[in-house]
């Protein structure tokens, strides 16, 4: 007898950004699987078994979750943000692809959520108002040369850039290398945002420019936004400026 596997997006943190679909799944599951920081967000309840695991063991965690579902459990693998955006959906599918046949027969449902770049953008105005791209700076799973190639292509296409996983204790330097590259390709007055822990008690948003930014501000909980050439500020009295990438291109401001 076979269970079910949900891959549940918890959003950036606060309950106000958790979809009703995700809330309902969290009520239905018998087994909760995830990185400690994410499972800690869920209130324990009778009948819910919690399987917390360390960061950077996404495949092991996925396999454990698939085994539980095959044993008849209703399993929820939780992800911060949207599971489809640099989170657990791809890891679960990689495990399915390389696992036993019975995993392909499982009922698997991905529940989308608000991702960090959207929460950050909402705080600032409309920095993603034009075409944009999202790049993970982690070279744990892809070569740094590919990341450089993508940063260059993003500049060639004049996309707004959202950088996920900009830095961690094990990878403190990539964000410095990325900024060195971007500074050769985009004007130094390009708006840059470091949005840390948006929606959580330790939220900290830093609005700066490509020329003046300190890449050292980025950590594991930070989403970095790099404006396109049209991105600019709207100054306001007694309020922080709004950041706008206009929908139109080459138009008068």
Residues 211 to 240 in contact with a second copy, rule: CB under 8 A: 234-239
Instruction: Let me know: does 111 contact 83? Beta carbons within 8 Å.
Output: yes
205 is a contact residue toward a second copy (CB under 8 A): no
Between 50 and 106, name the residue whose CB sits nearer to a second copy.
Answer: 106
Instruction: Let me know: does 113 contact 22? Beta carbons within 8 Å.
Output: yes
Between 46 and 101, name the residue whose CB sits nearer to a second copy.
Answer: 101
Give ∠ CA 136-94-170 in degrees, rounded to 5. 40
Site pattern 4..23 for a second copy (x: CB under 8 A): -------x---xxxxxxx--
| Nearest Cα to Cα of residue 243 among 151, 21, 212, 230 | 230
110 is a contact residue toward a second copy (CB under 8 A): yes
Residue 172, both tokens: 């403190």
Rounded CA separation 245/248 (Å): 9
Instruction: Let me know: does 167 contact 214? Beta carbons within 8 Å.
Output: no
Can you tell me which of 68, 70, 91, 218 binds a second copy, judged by CB under 8 A? Answer: 91
Q: How many residues bind a second copy (CB under 8 A)?
A: 79
Q: Site residues for a second copy, window 120-149 (CB under 8 A)? A: 121-123, 125-136, 141-143, 146, 149
Between 67 and 152, name the residue whose CB sits nearer to a second copy.
Answer: 152
1 is a contact residue toward a second copy (CB under 8 A): no
Smallest gap from residue 177 Cβ to a second copy (A): 16
100 is a contact residue toward a second copy (CB under 8 A): no
Residues contacting 226, CB < 8 A, separation 6+: 160, 161, 163, 182, 186, 190, 192, 210
| Nearest Cα to Cα of residue 195 among 168, 215, 214, 222 | 222
Smallest gap from residue 71 Cβ to a second copy (A): 19
31 is a contact residue toward a second copy (CB under 8 A): no
Between 32 and 155, name the residue whose CB sits nearer to a second copy.
Answer: 155
Smallest gap from residue 122 Cβ to a second copy (A): 4
Smallest gap from residue 213 Cβ to a second copy (A): 21
Give ∠ CA 66-68-74 in degrees, rounded to 5. 95
């Amino acid at each position: 007898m076979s269970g079910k596997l949900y891959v549940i997006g918890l959003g950036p943190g606060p309950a106000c950004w958790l979809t009703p679909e995700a809330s309902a799944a969290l009520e239905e599951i018998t087994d909760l699987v995830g990185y400690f920081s994410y499972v800690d967000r869920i209130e324990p309840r009778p009948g819910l078994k919690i399987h917390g695991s360390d960061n950077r063991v996404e495949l092991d965690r996925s396999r454990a979750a698939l085994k539980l579902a095959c044993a008849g459990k209703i399993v929820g693998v939780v992800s911060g943000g949207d599971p489809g955006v640099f989170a657990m959906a791809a890891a679960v599918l990689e495990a399915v692809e390389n696992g036993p046949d019975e995993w392909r027969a499982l009922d698997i449902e991905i529940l989308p959520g608000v991702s960090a770049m959207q929460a950050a953008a909402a705080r600032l105005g409309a920095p993603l108002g034009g075409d944009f791209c999202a790049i993970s700076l982690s070279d744990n799973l892809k070569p740094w040369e590919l990341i450089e190639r993508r940063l260059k292509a993003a500049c060639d296409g004049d996309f707004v850039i959202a950088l996920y996983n900009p830095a961690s204790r094990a990878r403190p330097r990539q964000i410095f290398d990325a900024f060195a590259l971007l500074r050769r390709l985009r004007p130094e007055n390009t708006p840059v945002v470091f949005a840390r822990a948006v929606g959580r008690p330790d939220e900290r948003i830093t609005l700066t420019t490509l020329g003046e930014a300190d890449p050292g501000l980025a950590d594991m909980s930070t989403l970095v936004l790099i404006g396109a050439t049209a991105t600019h500020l709207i100054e306001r009295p007694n309020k922080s400026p709004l950041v706008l990438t206009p929908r139109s291109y080459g138009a008068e401001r």
